[in-house]
Structure 1
Amino acid sequence: METMKIDNNQLLRFTTAGSVDDGKSTLIGRLLYDSKAIFEDQLEAVEITSKRKGHEGVDLALFTDGLKDEREQGITIDVAYRYFTTPKRKFIIADTPGHIQYTRNMVTGASTANAALILIDARHGVIEQTKRHAFIASLLQIPHIIVCINKMDLVDYSEEIYDNIIQQFEEFSSKLYVKDIRFLPISALDGDNVVNRSENMEWFQGAPLLNTLENMHISSDINKIDARFPVQTVLRPQSKEFVDYRGYAGRVASGIFRPGDDVVVLPSGFTSKIKTIDTFEASLMEAYAPMSVSITLEDDIDVSRGDMIVKANNKPTATQEFDAMICWLHKDSARPRAKYTIVHTSNEQKAMIKEVVYKIDINTYGREEDDKSLNMNDISRIKLRTTRPMMIDEYRDNRITGSFILIDDATHETVAAGMIV
């Protein structure tokens, strides 16, 4: 297993979540500014704009608010990704709008995150959006949550207020499954505990935010046990050199494949052995997630896009009916027993929502079993039926083969994102 070492430690993907005016833009701007991760021309442009607006110093929010112009022009930008690097680590930030109607955007931005930063305004404490964002982070199984209690400068850096907010958060977060929750008192505007330690809150003994992010242990969220290879296309090169070549190209979703492995092609159930694993440059002795390769088999069997190659002794569930937790993303409500296209790995087919089992009340985390509607931002458990068998794992075991999206056949818009349970 020595060859399975995948260096994820250098890259941390994190998402930011908070309600409007909690200071997300300022916090990201402060991170970029104080860690010197901003190009000189960007800095000059922001300094000029800040002066024109009458600010004494640099308006940190301007580093991230460039998308407001696009939104005002009617251009849809759901999630903005920003990249920065420190000597210790590379970072990708998924920045999502804070309005309550943008819950769907957090689902998009958080789906691949290693950590979530949830901002709370120290003056207001825990609000509905805080609970909503914490629940989504738990639902998506983000392993680390950092609760940034911001604007501590506006409450006189009160340790008592900070402790009260921690108590409020812990009262409802005890119902969630999150491996690691940390709390941090900050002032994004003044820089307290963002990159540098705060001189105004000496009562807080923890590390600043950037140091916490740099040293956070990130275990790979790739399932290394269950071997899954969704076939994207069949390669039949039209050249004399490869006249008999028949390869199945795709990206390894999880696990390890090696030449000689006994495999099964699903849903047909045909069995064979792996003959070769090829890339454009060379043949490989093994392939693992998230490598893109072409697999050839020893037997000439029928394999097509949407099929899945798996180990003979470790198969996913092949089924046409299953339960899932979904977030409804579209402004239009779900139509009763309407048909949608489900996209699951490389498999696309028709699906029908058979039943809405229950909806989640974000305030109480209770189940609403009487309301069977699905409206934008609703988080619900549903029963789905597909026209052909799908090869699935539970989301908690495999993020790739345990997730899917639903597309409206009439508009071709994505209407829901789902996690198989």
Structure 2
Amino acid sequence: MKKLVTNLTFWVLTAITAGALLGHFAPDVAIKMEVLGKTFISVVKLFINPIIFLTITLGIVGMSDLKKVGRVGGKALLYFEIVTTVALFIGIVVANIIQPGAGVSTPAANEADLSKYAKGAAEFSWLNFFLDNVTIQVLLIALVFGVVLNRVTGKERIVGYLSLASKWVFKGLHLVMLFAPIGAFGGMAYTIGKYGIATLIPLAKLMLTVYITMGLFVFVVLYSILRMYRVSLLKFLRYIREELLIVLGTSSSEAGLPSLMEKLERAGCSKSVVGLVVPAGYSFNLDGTTIYLSMATIFLAQVYGVELSFSQVLTIIGILMVTSKGAAGVTGSGFIVLASTLQAIQVIPLEGLALLLGVDRFMSEARSITNFIGNGVATIWLANNEREFDRTKMEQAFSNVAVFEDIRQNPIENP
């Protein structure tokens, strides 16, 4: 009983349930809980960039061969492109088979929302993506700083300061994560209170199709990727279950990003691979977002009775292969990327976006969780491929999840 009371996973799950109940029975009160979820995510975001900077810098300094940095980065980008393209094809194929848009009535347009998304799509550029994406900027700065520091003589003192800073940043993160149940409660209460379960009924088929497709992607594609190096997907999911619940409650993969980096390192992935792959994957390895965008496009074509030709489907695939990579760096990213896709093919009315507004929040949970798992799998695969993976650490971590959670409960006593 004592272990249950002190188990953070238990409290996050309880908070999610309580938030859902409050949202259903007292929606007016639940909507006001949004500040709890937003505040928690904002505080966690404060740790993301320092952790990325420290992890990458210390990882590069620890590398004797700087060519490895470029090799790992190149492999990571190639992996991201291949896997997200597979996700894109899966989304299009499943949407064409199940036909979730068949029989759905066309929505009334909300001109304010549509003009906002259309403007965002028109203004999107890779320069804006870079300028708006602080994570990518920090990643590049850390790479340069790490390379320079690697070549400096007498760097031991600086490395010592950075190592000490890293230690205390993670201690601070552990303390913040104790408030994860409050953040999860606020996020879930707001979602249910604001949009309500009733909004799901008209688009239940689309919701079900998206969730099933993402489940297939995780348990078939990602399972197969880990299987290549004899790593159990189920054991990995159990290992990161706490973070998955936090992502579910807050609908944000950012909420679990710093903890994921720490857990991957504890599970045997080298610091340098974790530091390079996870932050880059956050912007370029969006498996869940890619699946959703492809399915949403085909769904809207079905709603409006638009018969897409083979060349138009190829155009959609080509556009999403590029634009989906920048989705994380744009506010309202999903709708902006979707709007740019609809504008490019010019056969599906932009008004269809209004139909997705009500359920987008519920589907963002599936997107975030799939993105989150995908980045963890990518890191493990690349660490194995680079022979920067310690299987002994992995086996200890996977078999002692409770021990790790105890460490999280007592961050000061257990550095």
Bucket of the pairwise TM-score, normalised by the shorter protein: under 0.3
TM-score (norm 2): 0.22
- Kindly indicate which of the two structures has a greater share of residues assigned to strand: 1
Of structures 1 and 2, the one scoring higher in RCO (CA 8 A, sep 6+) is 2
TM-score (norm 1): 0.22
